[in-house]
Structure 1
């Protein structure tokens, strides 16, 4: 029964659902639905799909996440970065506007969902930890710039193409002569209005005495107002006949039953992009979920989140959608609006289903420039170039990784950018751990504590070298320790004993064990004893499984102070500055 609760969290929160939670969830659902209608249409446009695909991708997936997910506030659906990744990946295998393009998007969602489900079932959520936060921040910043740039063609009313920043800008410049000035006016005014709404409307309403909840609803309805005004303008003045590109006919229907394409060629072409989309989507989603859960002292299970997101993507694949994940803006809105349980997502899905059935004819004359403005305003909040300054001041290695990720994403495209981000994160980890911090320590006078001889005034013995290893030992850094000890021992001819202080060592792999054996043999040949101190239980258990302890040219001490008392002579002790 416990495992059933684990895989179906709805059974846990559902049995405690009450009228107060229902009221709060319904209010949150109304606010989020108002925000999602234009946003869903816009992200479908960004993904290169018909506008209804955005609504479809926001209905069944969010219901499935409510059943399998553990976050009480996460709102699942299309998001900007994943939509851009979808357009980039699917654009490589099919031409936009064709049936094959839509099928490829379904396949991408299917592969992404399957990959996430596998990670969740086998509890592999920890793999996302290999993506460093600075690299993720760099990728999202570059993606925000690319997304905003890609929408300029809709603001200008020109035809443009490209997947990299130089390609997009070059194509836009080439076609500037085709600018439709009416479209440009609509796009600029809509963008300016949405920026004003985001920053100034709520404070203005509060100064006018509007209640906080109503002020929040009206602020979130800003994009809806832009949609209504620009749509009415195009319809009233016949601007579509004057070159203003509109959404056109959107089917009045609930999400249809669809089937992804599973041909070997298509799956092979989309498998790697699907994995990258899954990783990026999960990292964004779990970050938002954990942040919001912490505010209410709730718990989010990363492995179950993988299953929830996997189910959501599989749902999108079979209901006319495309890859989805937990969105930052919609989740924050959902949380701030008072959502108590995932049922708020189910009610939101119901609101979007009503919109799909009855409201889609109203967006026929909606200008694409307005949707582009919605996307631009949403994604520019993702752009954080200050990460470059922060990492430069803190760590040159992190700065290099962030800068490389941003440049590769902008100059080579999002797939190359995210792949390089994953690779750079792993390489950065390997680089940092390949040169572990190893401090030579001495005894703090009057205590049993040992500190770095370069930072503290401590007692040392010229015949004894104690090295505190501040990292687990594995194949990447094992040789570094060998070279360090060899160099230190050959410097001082008086050295008779070397102690490796293992208080910070949590793991010794086989390569590191072989290095320790090599160190032991070399020191024995030099007439120097090798000793260990403060070895943790699991590490000692592993060492006992080998012959290393039997051949050790020294002892294993429970504490470093024990080693000091045994191996030093009082008359040899001196202070080290």
Structure 2
């Protein structure tokens, strides 16, 4: 039961001391979650109240099923932008139909996550490398910031998920700027930034919400064209079935799959960061997928759009002392009280204030230090990051992610197609064999012996490279060469194409009256050597545990180490 209901691990040890900490953390996060959730719903193109709906049932479900005790689940900026970007490409007429598609999208996201968790496919997220994530996240943050210009300027700027279109649209409408909206937004930004620098523990977001609402109310700024949230429906969300159709599924499955991956990636990365800080491992990747999946699926029936873990609220939750998911339940109670009794207070909340909250919140997602380090250390990964960043800005969110993942895979394939291939020599006075180009005069190089190490698996993508490099080294040795030793310690797999290649290579080497030895092959690789027939042309007696044993056998064939003899006669049944 604990595997499927992780809260059973900590519930028996729960006490008043832990509850006090969870209560304080939950109230702190709740104060921020309410205005932030409303702001993020605006990014998704939904009425602000849907941000509060997304902070109810999904959070409750995760509290019972999630394996991280401190991440704060709910509406987030990144997913909200992806919702807007995905649904923005569809032909949807009317706000009501847009809302229905957003809720169906949430169900689809949850379904993908749930089934990936059931079938233990959490490993797939590993294909989104850090350069891709960094490039995509930074670009998405820039797009989110510029998408809020319409609220900051108080003008009717057309939305887009492309940076250049947002800038052009803003320039076309800049003359229509409402200076009251602009002033509220700028002051909000300055207040939040100031409090972040000097009064970190004070809820600056709450201060901006309260002050801006009071200013609009007492000075009747709505009559001066200030855009306000307006009437927020009171009461809890109702239960609604989705209108399932194959057309809807066909239209939104690509964005749903993207959101499923991105949402899971955000949750697992935040959860693992807290594991490192706490020195306690609780995260189960596949159970996280199940928890997020059910949170989104069940939440979608209660008018919640896609949710995941929030970077900013999770950090606040942790710093405020949260110990368990009870803190999240406290935040839910605050949202419930707001929906039941406090919605009239949000009527005069200016949208420019919400825009200022969004802009400051997502600005921290723009990472400059990581690209700088990649530029100094990994130029190819820097290129992947920049391509992802630029294409996300110019082509769109989903397109940027897809291209970034493709570029990462291409870089990985390129690296494995031409891996490190070293010539080894004996370090004088020792049993160690190291790269002759790294140790210089300390290494003894023999004209009659070639020792090489291939630092990768052998497969169809690099088998030709292995063969060409090996014979290049053999040719360089000249006619004095008598034996070749392959150090196979780093070769963890040999596919059928590489096996056939290796058999032909060994036969060709033997035709040149040169002996061939393999040393250091690990168990799985040794099994393949026996299974694929490589051993038939190599002979069992030329398999060695260590390089020094292969060299000793070359020098004295009658000297057979006992351990080598045992290894050589192993078969797959053992």
TM-score of the pair, normalised by structure 2:
0.93
Q: Does 1:562 align with 2:562?
A: no
The aligned counterpart of 2:116 is 119
Q: Secondary structure at the match of 1:530?
A: strand
Q: Distance in 1 between matches of 2:502 and 2:15?
A: 62
Q: Does 1:185 align with 2:183?
A: yes
Q: Distance in 2 between matches of 1:35 and 1:448?
A: 63
Per-residue deviation at 1:96? 7.8
Among candidates 387, 392, 406, match of residue 389 of structure 2: 406
Q: Does 1:67 align with 2:64?
A: yes
Q: Distance in 2 between matches of 1:512 and 1:268?
A: 40
Per-residue deviation at 1:463? 1.9
Q: Secondary structure at the match of 2:364?
A: helix
Mapping 1:3-402, distance limit 5 Å: 4-95=1-92, 98-161=95-158, 162-202=160-200, 216=201, 219=202, 221-299=203-281, 300-402=283-385
The aligned counterpart of 1:432 is 415
Change (3 A) 1:408 1:465: same
Q: Distance in 1 between matches of 2:205 and 2:109?
A: 30
Q: Distance in 2 between matches of 1:377 and 1:315?
A: 31
**Cα offsets for 1:268-327 (capped at 9, x unmatched):** 121111111111121121111011122222211111111111121113211111111111
Counterpart contact for 1:154–1:372, Cα < 8 Å = yes
| Count of residues in Structure 1 that have an aligned counterpart in Structure 2 | 551
Q: Distance in 1 between matches of 2:299 and 2:427?
A: 63
Counterpart contact for 1:186–1:230, Cα < 8 Å = yes
Per-residue deviation at 1:95? 4.1
Change (3 A) 1:514 1:346: farther
Per-residue deviation at 1:97? 5.5
Q: Secondary structure at the match of 1:49?
A: coil
Q: Distance in 2 between matches of 1:9 and 1:541?
A: 40
Per-residue deviation at 1:237? 2.0
TM-score of the pair, normalised by structure 1:
0.92
Counterpart contact for 2:496–2:532, Cα < 8 Å = no
Q: Which runs of 5+ in 2 are unaligned?
A: 557-574
Q: Distance in 2 between matches of 1:275 and 1:527?
A: 57
Q: Secondary structure at the match of 2:111?
A: helix
Q: Secondary structure at the match of 1:383?
A: coil
Counterpart contact for 2:41–2:48, Cα < 8 Å = yes
Counterpart contact for 1:461–1:568, Cα < 8 Å = no
Q: Distance in 2 between matches of 1:16 and 1:478?
A: 56
Q: Secondary structure at the match of 1:439?
A: strand
Q: Distance in 2 between matches of 1:378 and 1:545?
A: 57
Change (3 A) 1:173 1:568: farther
Counterpart contact for 1:72–1:293, Cα < 8 Å = no
Per-residue deviation at 1:250? 0.9
Q: Does 1:458 align with 2:455?
A: no
Counterpart contact for 2:132–2:401, Cα < 8 Å = no
Q: Which runs of 5+ in 1 are unaligned?
A: 203-215, 570-577
Change (3 A) 1:30 1:62: same
Q: Distance in 2 between matches of 1:475 and 1:365?
A: 65
**Cα offsets for 1:156-188 (capped at 9, x unmatched):** 011222221110000000111111111111111
Q: Distance in 2 between matches of 1:510 and 1:323?
A: 44
The aligned counterpart of 1:574 is none
Q: Distance in 2 between matches of 1:106 and 1:260?
A: 8
Among candidates 445, 462, 474, match of residue 477 of structure 1: 462
Q: Distance in 2 between matches of 1:480 and 1:382?
A: 41
Q: Distance in 2 between matches of 1:337 and 1:517?
A: 63
Moved over 3 A (4+): 94-97
Per-residue deviation at 1:94? 4.4
Q: Secondary structure at the match of 1:374?
A: helix
Q: Distance in 1 between matches of 2:318 and 2:466?
A: 50
Q: Distance in 2 between matches of 1:328 and 1:151?
A: 20
**Cα offsets for 1:320-357 (capped at 9, x unmatched):** 11111111111111111111111211221121111111
Q: Distance in 2 between matches of 1:121 and 1:98?
A: 35
Per-residue deviation at 1:486? 2.1
CA RMSD of aligned residues (A): 1.7
